[in-house]
Amino acid sequence: MTRLWNDPADFADEMIDGFVAAHGQHVRHVTGGVARRTRTPDGEVAIVIGGGSGHYPAFGGLVGTGLAHGAAMGNLFASPSTQQVVSVAKAAEAGAGVLFSYGNYAGDVLNFDAAQERLRAAGIPCETVAVTDDVSSAPAADRATRRGVAGDLAIFRIAAAAAEDGRVLADVAAAARRANDRTRSFGVAFSGCTLPGADAPLFEVPEGRMAVGLGIHGEPGLAIEDIPTADGLADMLVDRLLDERPDDVPDPRGARVVPILNGLGSLKHEEMFVVYRRIARRLADAGLEIVDPHVGEFCTSFDMAGTSLTLLWLDDDLAELWAHPVDTPAYRRGQPTRRPHIDDDAALDSAETITRGDTASRAAADHVMAAVECATRTIDAHVDELGRLDQVAGDGDHGIGMQRGVRAAVEAAREAHAAGAGAETTLLRSADAWSDRAGGTSGALWGVILTAIAERLGDAGTPSPDAVAEGVAAASTAVMAYGKAQPGDKTLVDALVPLADSLSTAVARGDGLPVALRASATAATDAASATADMLPRMGRARTHHEKALGTPDPGAHSLALIAEALADLFAHQED
C-alpha cells in the first residue's frame, strides 16, 4: 500500500517538485512537466514523451541526454492535459519539430493529438508514434488498438537516438514506428496497486494466484491463474512473446533481441533475476542472440507487485540506434557527450489580459460563477463514490481527476470574475483550467464541453435560454467529434446527448431555463443509470467489459450529478 502523502490531490505536483530537486543536473521544471537541463542542439528533433504519473521512471525519469527532451506529466494514472503537452513541447523544441510518443490510451491520444494540432497551427512540425506493445490488450489483427506498457522504453530510446543521429522528423518517426512494430510485451501481477489516500487497492488478486495480461494503470488482468514457479513464469512469458514475432521474423534462429524484464513496483530484483535466468536460457535455446539485457524497473504501476517481459527485435538500423549512449535520472547506458546546461527555468507564459464584459454580461457571469461553485461542491461530495465506480473496470482515478479539474476551474473563474470578465470569458477561463488540471480523458472532454457553452454566452448582453441550449448542443456534438464515442459506447456521451436533446426541446417549446434544466437533468440521470446495462466499447474499460456490466459509467454519472445540482441551484431563478 501507499503510506506517504500530504493531500492526495497534490501528490503528483509535489512528486514532480521533489524529482526536479533531486535531479536538477538532468532536468528542469517547465509548466506541465520537465525538460532536459542540457540545451537541445539547433536542428535536432525534440522527443517529447508523457503520460500519467505513478509509473516512475516513466516518464520524467527518462528525460536526459540520449533519451527524451521533455516529458509531459499528468496526474496519477491520468494523461497530461493539452496545455501541459504544448508547454513541454515548446520548452524542448529547437527548430526541427517534435516527435510525440506515449502509451496508446484514450486520454493520452486525445490530449497529445490536440497539442499536435495547436503546434502545427503555430508552424511547429509534429509527428506522433503511440506505443502499442501489450500483446494481451487486443488480438494481433488489431494491433493498432493495443495499449503501451514497458515497451515504451524501447520506442523512446530508438526515437531519441535517431534524433541525435541528425535525422529529419519524418525519418525519426519512421525509426520509432519500426521499433514499435518490432516490440512486444506481456505481463502478470500478484497484487493490485493503491493510490495515495485510497483505502483499498484498485483491484485484488486472490492469495496464491496471479492476474495475467494486466495494464500499467491497475486494470485487472484478463485471467486469474495459479502462481507458477519462477521457471514456469519465465516459460509463460517467453512462449507468449515467441508466438507473436514480427512479421518479418518467421524464424527466431539468428535474430537479435533486447529483453527487458520490468518490475511493476513491488517485485524484488532478486526474484526477477531468478526469472531472468530462465528467460535467458529459453531465448538462447530458441536460437536468439541476446543484446543488452535489462532487468529492473522501467515502467511501474505505483506499488503493484508484478512483472512484464518485453522483446525488442532488432534489425541492423535499430541495433545501431540502440547502441547510442544515454544519461537520464533513472536510466544510463554508455558515456554521452556533455552539452551546455540551461541556467534558467523556462519562463511561464504571461497571463492574458482580461477584457471586461459589459454590465449585463458581468451580471450573467455571477450565474456562471455560482454554477462552477455548485459543480465543485457536488464533485467534492461524491469524489469517493466516483472513484469506486471507476475502480470496477478502470483505474479508480475519475473522482480525484474530476476534483482536481473542478477545483482549478472554480479558482480560474473567481480570478476572471473578480477582474470584471463577462460570462463567456469567465467560463472559458474555467474550461481551460479544468482541462489543464484534471488531465486524462474526462479533463479534455469537460474542457470541450465548457468551451462550447462559453462561446454561446458572449461577453456582452444577457445570454438567452436559446443560447444556453445551443451551447450544450454544440458541446454534445464537439465531444462526439473529439472523443469519437457515440451513444451506446458507455461513456459520458450517453448522458450528454439526452441532456442536450432534452434541454433544446424544452427551450424550443418555451419553457423557462430553470424548468428546462430540470427536464434535461432528469434525462441525463436516467440515461446515466441506464449505462449500467451497457458493455463499454471505448476507453480502458473496453478490455474488461464484462467487469463493467451492472455498474454505471463514472463519466456519465458525474455529468448527471452536476446536471442535477445545477437544476436545483437555478430552480428558483427568475425567467
Cell (9 digits) for 541: 474499460
* Secondary structure of residue 67 in the 3-state scheme: coil
Is 217 catalytic? The answer is yes
DSSP string, 500-564: HHHHHHHHHTT--HHHHHHHHHHHHHHHHHHGGGSPP-SSGGGGGHHHHTTS--HHHHHHHHHHH
Neighbours of 112 (CB within 10 A): 27
CA distance 279 to 230: 10
User: CA torsion sign, 316 to 319 to 325 to 330?
Assistant: positive
Burial of 246 (0-12, 13-18, 19+ CB in 10 A): middle
First-last CA distance in the chain: 53
* Secondary structure of residue 199 in the 3-state scheme: coil
Q: Show Cβ contacts of residue 533 under 8 Å, excluding neighbours closer than 6 positions.
A: 549, 550
Per annotation, catalytic residue among 26, 29, 217, 294: 217
Q: Show Cβ contacts of residue 458 under 8 Å, excluding neighbours closer than 6 positions.
A: 361, 422, 423, 424, 467
Q: What is the DSSP letter of 260?
A: E
CA distance 143 to 181: 9
Burial state string for 1-23 with b = 16 or more CB within 10 A and e = fewer than 16: ebeeeeebbebbeebbeebbeeb
Alpha-carbon 445 to chain mean position? 13
Active-site residues, by number, are 217
